[in-house]
Homo-oligomer: A and B are copies of this chain.
Amino acid sequence: MNTRRAQILDAAAVLIGRQGYSATSIDDVIKESRLSGKSHFYHYFRSKEELGFEVLDRQFERFAERGLAILREPMIDPMERLSLFIDSLVAAHAARGCHGGSPFGTLAAEMADAHEGFRLRIAQVFVRWASQIQSLLWEARPQLLDDVDAVRLSRFIIAALEGGLMMSRVKRDIVVMEGIALDLKRFIVMHLREPNAVPHPSAGV
């Protein structure tokens, strides 16, 4: 992938994540990625919409590389991986100073009812994300209770995390996100056959 194009997408992702899509102008993106002018931008993208779509696609790829990679780590116990994944989200949020860095939640709230193309793409990211967690839960099924609904649980995990990130962002308080991550882990442990036999100390309180 072209370096310059990637730079533009990164800059746009940050701006959209902070300000939203409609509040982010092409000129903002040009300024942030130090392009020479409009025509330089339009050399790489046909429209603002195309930029938005690709920011969204790239968002999941980036996220898959960093965060979701933990979910697939074969040497670690599945449920331990889930705990580490939650920790990594909290850590990334703390590293951003409780500011919005990923344009995902922002775009979801802004475009869900306003732009069908964005809505469908965001829904697709949700599905891909959830299916990663579902296959992890499938892998951990010997440890899990028989009546665990993997689809429902994966959605709940994502909803709690996204809602927590939003709330923590508004309050500018990492403790809020840490508390939600803690409760979420307690909920997940509830689905184990032996809730007290936590596979690794760091997964607990």
Contact = CB atoms under 8 A, between A and B. Distances in A.
Contact of A109 (B110, B159, B179, B184): B110
Copy tally for this chain in the complex stands at 2
Given A19-B113, A113-B99, A123-B171, A108 B166 contact: yes
B20 A110 contact: yes
Interface string A137-159: 00000000000010111011011
Nearest to A162: B163
A119 interface: yes
Interface string A89-120: 00000000001100001101110111000010
20 contacts: A19-B22, A100-B112, A106-B110, A108-B109, A109-B166, A110-B110, A119-B172, A122-B170, A152-B179, A152-B180, A152-B183, A155-B176, A156-B180, A156-B183, A158-B167, A159-B180, A163-B164, A166-B166, A186-B187, A187-B187
